[in-house]
């Protein structure tokens, strides 16, 4: 794999051919080679590199070329989306990678169809903005494939409507839900289970670890490689779940 990684980053390699403005950088190649080496000979690697090194491509290329199951965990949902929707597609296309990819977020990021119908038909509060947002969400629910609340860019992040159209572990009906088969959260988790590379965030990763620790089910599939971007946040987040 080391030869493949080195070739991909070369001046006339796959990245330079397919990604506009790509320039080979020694520090980026060194990082990519180190990542490839630790994937092939399992261990732990901590990398610190300055702005402009191109760290994202330096771990994505060896991850995609490894042929192994990979969990990629980021510090924030914004970075998670940037990776999945912007950076990953570019690298996948450049490498002509056949791998199955998935984006998985926490439960509160997915539309609950049952709760939407419940509260759209019986508005919980006579609030004009709430009613307007519920109407917009209802319209979007017929168009979305993923049910990812992040698609609702035209609704405020703190909209009063969102808690009424998403579920919690306490109010989710599970298999008793009348629209269980159409559940967006269930579909996202199934896709993640089947994927070769799953993009998550640190909170979801440690929530999954904590769940496994109790002996109950798990959200993430068994993976061969775990990559943490913005790993400096891990001690605080891990302490929240295991402290």
Q: What is the CATH number of the domain that holds 29?
A: 3.40.50.300
Query: Can you give the pLDDT at residue 211?
Result: 75
The reply to whether 189 falls in a domain is: no
> 228: part of which helix (H) or strand (E)?
strand 225-228
Determine the average pLDDT of the residues in 71-79: 92
Number of structural domains (the chain) is 2
**Both 11 and 96 in a single domain?**
yes
Residue 67 has pLDDT above 70, yes or no: yes
* pTM, rounded to two decimals: 0.88
The 10 Å Cβ neighbour count of residue 26 is 9
Q: Which residues pair with 106 in a beta bridge?
A: none
Residues 6+ apart with CB under 8 A from 14: 7, 8, 94, 95, 96
Query: Can you give the pLDDT at residue 23?
Result: 85
**Both 60 and 96 in a single domain?**
yes
């Amino acid at each position: 794999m080391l030869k493949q990684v080195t070739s991909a980053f070369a001046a006339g390699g796959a990245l330079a051919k397919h990604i506009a403005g790509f320039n080979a950088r020694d520090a980026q190649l060194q990082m990519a080679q180190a990542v490839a080496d630790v994937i092939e000979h399992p261990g732990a690697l901590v990398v610190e590199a300055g702005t402009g090194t191109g760290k994202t491509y330096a771990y994505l290329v060896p991850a995609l070329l490894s042929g192994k199951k990979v969990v990629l965990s980021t510090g924030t949902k914004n970075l998670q989306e940037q990776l999945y929707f912007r950076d990953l597609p570019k690298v996948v296309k450049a490498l002509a990678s056949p791998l199955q990819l998935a984006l998985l977020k926490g439960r509160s990021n997915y539309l609950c169809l049952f709760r939407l119908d419940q509260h759209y038909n019986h508005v919980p509060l006579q609030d004009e903005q709430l009613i307007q947002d519920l109407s917009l969400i209802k319209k979007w629910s017929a168009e979305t494939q993923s049910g990812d609340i992040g698609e609702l860019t035209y609704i405020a992040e703190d909209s009063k409507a969102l808690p009424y159209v998403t579920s919690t572990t306490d109010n989710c009906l599970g298999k008793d839900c009348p629209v269980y088969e159409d559940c967006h959260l269930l579909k996202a988790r199934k896709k993640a289970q089947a994927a070769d590379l799953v993009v998550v965030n640190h909170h979801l990763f440690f929530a999954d670890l904590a769940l496994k620790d109790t002996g109950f089910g798990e959200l993430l599939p068994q993976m061969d490689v775990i990559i943490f971007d913005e790993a400096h946040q891990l001690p605080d987040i891990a302490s929240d779940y295991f402290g």
